[in-house]
Amino acid sequence: MRLATVADRAVLVVADGIIDIAAASNERFGPDPLDVLGHWADFVHWADSADLSTARVAAPVAFGPPVPRPAQVFAVALNYPPHAAEAGYQPPTDPLVFTKFPSCITGPSAVVELPGDRVDWEVELVVVIGFGGHRIPADLAWTHVAGLTIGQDLSERRVQLLGTPPQFSLGKSFPGFGPTGPELVTLDEFGDPDDLELTGLLNGTVVQQDRTKEMIFSVPELIARISAICPLLPGDLIFTGTPAGVGNRMTPPRYLGPDDVLVSRIEGIGEFRTTFTRTGD
């Protein structure tokens, strides 16, 4: 099943278009995507058994973020060994968790205003929590996941690395710095949700490519470690870390400018395209 959001309303994506979930369920679920995610088990049961043959199918339009207003957004630094190495660190022994403050979340066709000349890309697998929980064991973690989507952990490196020790969260939370989408894809759509190829392209050239099975902390391990401290809530997002190939580790460093087109792609989910303007343009 593939879900998306149009004008803040949750929709099902079907072969020939989109179905408004609130309308098709007689207002039982939605329209807010958080309401669908907050009743995830009931919703999945309904979606599996409902006769949607008479539901109104609308033409597909531009999607917003799958979860426009998550309560919590977790993100993980240095979760792929080659990226830890390019950044000059040993692989971490515990997950390095920061937040992207939720006001940075945007959709899959965002035009992001660049607040400076040090904005960098990070394509990432993003986990969307369905059934929340506290102290979730790793072996049950996938049962708490509604689905997977794609994210860009856009990062203003000057702000990110300011101070001793640096605090990542603000430099990764400018408006528009959390493009997500295009769809939330449920786990049954994947052969192996622990092994997906992710690719970042800058102006058509591959700059990042790896597989999620290479992550130092897998999705179940991240859910267990994070929920050991913070109860997870329906609709929470976890940005699971980026592969090698970010711009600030290139020689010379390469940062995003207003003419760049960034494509973020994950096997089994799809891709989205992010473009940029400069403050004052």
Residues found in the chain: 281
Using the 8-state DSSP alphabet, how is residue 56 labeled?
Answer: P
Residue 213: CB minimum distance to Zn ion, A? 18
Nearer to Zn ion, 47 or 219 (CB): 219
Residues found near Zn ion in the complex (CB under 5 A): 122, 153, 242
Nearer to Zn ion, 20 or 153 (CB): 153
Structure tokens, 73: 């957004």
Nearer to Zn ion, 124 or 183 (CB): 124
Residue 95: CB minimum distance to Zn ion, A? 12
Residue 120: CB minimum distance to Zn ion, A? 10
Residue 230: CB minimum distance to Zn ion, A? 18
Q: How open is the CA angle 186-271-43, to the nearest 5 degrees?
A: 20
Structure tokens, 32: 């807010």
d(CA 122, CA 13) in angstroms, rounded, equals: 27
Q: 22: burial class by Cβ within 10 Å (0-12, 13-18, 19+)? A: middle
Q: Which amino acid is at 44?
A: V
Which residue's beta carbon is nearest to the bound Zn ion?
153
Nearer to Zn ion, 32 or 153 (CB): 153
